[in-house]
Structure 1
Amino acid sequence: MNLTVLQEENERLKALLAQTQATLAEHQAALAESEEARRRLETIVGQLNHEKFGARSEKLHPDQYHLPLEDVEIAQGVLDAAQERAQRVIQGRSDGASGSRLRNRGHLPAHLPRVERIIEPKSTLCPCGCGEMARIGEDVSERLDAIPAQLRVLVTRRPKYACRRCSGAVVQAHAPEHIVPGGLPTEALIAQVIVAKFGDHLPFYRQAEIYARQGIQLDRATLGNWAGRACFHLKPIAEHMRRHLADADRLFMDETTAPVLDPGRGKVKKGFFWAIASDDRGHGGQGPPIVLFHYAPGRGGDHAERFLQGFGGQFLQVDAYEGYDRLTRLERPQGPWLLVHCWSHLRRRFVKLARNTKSPIAEAAIRQIAALYAIEATVRGASPQVRLAARQDYSRPIIAALKPWFEKQLSMISSGSRLAEDIRYGLAHWEGLTRFLDDGRLELDTNPVENAIRPVCLTRKNALFAGHEVGAENWALLSSVVATCRLNDVNPVAYLAETLDAIINGHPQSQIEELMPWRFRKTSSPNP
Structure 2
Amino acid sequence: ILYDYQTTRAGKHPARYLSGYKGYLQVDGYAGYNQLTDVTLVGCWAHARRKYTDALKALPPSAQSAEGTAKEGLAFCNQLYAIERELKKEQRSADERYTTRLKKSKPILQAFSAWLQKQAPRVLPKSALGQAIHYCREQWDKLNAFLKDGRLELDNNRAERSIKPFVMGRKAWLFANTPKGARSSAIIYSVVETAKENGLNPLNYLTYLFEQLPNMEIKDPQQLDPVLPWSDVLPPSCQSPIN
Tell me, yes or no, whether TM beats 0.5: yes
1:217-253: CA deviation from partner (whole Å, max 9, x where unpaired) = xxxxxxxxxxxxxxxxxxxxxxxxxxxxxxxxxxxxx
How far is the alpha carbon of 1:414 from its aligned partner?
A: 4.7
Instruction: With a CA cutoff of 8 Å and minimum separation of 6, indicate the structure with the bigger relative contact order.
Output: 2
Q: Deviations over 1:323-366 (max 9, x none)?
A: 11111xx3xxxxx2211111111111111111121621111111
Q: Indicate the residue corresponding to 1:514 in structure 2.
A: 226
Task: Kindly provide the amino acid, as one letter, of the partner of residue 68 in structure 2.
Answer: P
**Structure 1 counterpart of 2:39:** 337
How far 1:382 sits from its partner (Å)? 3.7
Deviation by residue 1:6-43 (Cα, 9 ceiling, x = unmatched) = xxxxxxxxxxxxxxxxxxxxxxxxxxxxxxxxxxxxxx
Retained in 1: the 8 A contact 2:28–2:44? yes
The answer for unaligned runs of 5 or more in structure 2 is none
Bigger fraction of residues in helix: 2
Q: Mark the CA change 1:375 to 1:322 in structure 2 (over 3 Å): closer, same or farther.
A: same
Aligned to 2:33, which of 324, 343, 363? 324
Name the residue aligned to 1:139. none
**476 and 439 in structure 1: CA distance in 2 versus 1, 3 angstrom threshold:** same
Deviation digits for residues 137-172 of structure 1 (CA, Å, limit 9, x no counterpart): xxxxxxxxxxxxxxxxxxxxxxxxxxxxxxxxxxxx
| Residue in structure 2 matching 1:308, options 9, 13, 18 | 18
Letter in structure 2 aligned against 1:352: D
Indicate the structure with greater strand content. Answer: 1
Question: What amino acid is the match of 1:319?
Answer: D
What is the SS of the residue equivalent to 1:293?
coil
Q: Percent same amino acid at aligned positions?
A: 35
2:141, 2:74 → 1: CA distance?
A: 19
Paired residue secondary structure (2:104): helix
Q: State yes or no: 1:368 paired with 2:70.
A: no
Look up the equivalent residue of 1:367 and give its one-letter code.
Answer: A
Quote the offset at 1:417 in angstroms. 4.6
- Measure, in 2, the Cα distance between the counterparts of 1:383 and 1:501: 42
Sort the Cα spacing of 1:498 and 1:413 in 2 relative to 1 into closer, same or farther, 3 A: closer
Residue 317 of structure 1, CA deviation: 0.8
The CA RMSD over aligned residues, in Å, is 2.1
| Aligned 1:162-201 pairs, distance under 5 A | none
Q: Does 1:465 align with 2:182?
A: no
How far off its partner does 1:415 sit?
Answer: 5.3
How much has 1:446 moved relative to structure 2?
Answer: 1.3
Match of 1:354 in 2: 56
Report if aligned partners of 1:341, 1:445 keep a CA contact under 8 Å in 2.
yes
Corresponding residue number in structure 1 for 2:166? 456
8 Å CA contact retained: 1:490, 1:518: no
Letter in 1 for 2:230: W
**Mapped contact 1:353–1:419 kept (Cα < 8 A):** yes
Aligned length: 228
CA distance in 1, matches of 2:114, 2:28: 23
Q: Does 2:175 align with 1:476?
A: no
Question: Displacement, 1:301?
Answer: 0.9
Which amino acid in structure 2 is aligned with residue 376 of structure 1?
E
Report the counterpart of residue 141 of structure 2 in structure 1. 431
Ranges of 4+ aligned residues in structure 1 off by more than 3 Å? 411-418
TM norm structure 1: 0.41
Which aligned pairs between 1:109-258 and structure 2 lie closer than 5 A? none
Q: Which amino acid aligns with 2:27?
A: V
| Secondary structure at 1:346 match in 2 | helix
Cα distance, 1:437–1:468 mapped onto 2, change above 3 Å? same
**When the two structures are superposed, what TM-score results if normalisation uses the length of structure 2?**
0.85
Residue 117 of structure 1 corresponds to none
Cα distance in structure 1, aligned partners of 2:181 and 2:127: 44
- Secondary structure of the residue that 1:445 maps to in structure 2? coil
Distance 1:414 1:465, change over 3 A: closer
1:442/1:492 Cα in 2 relative to 1: closer, same or farther (>3 Å)? Answer: same
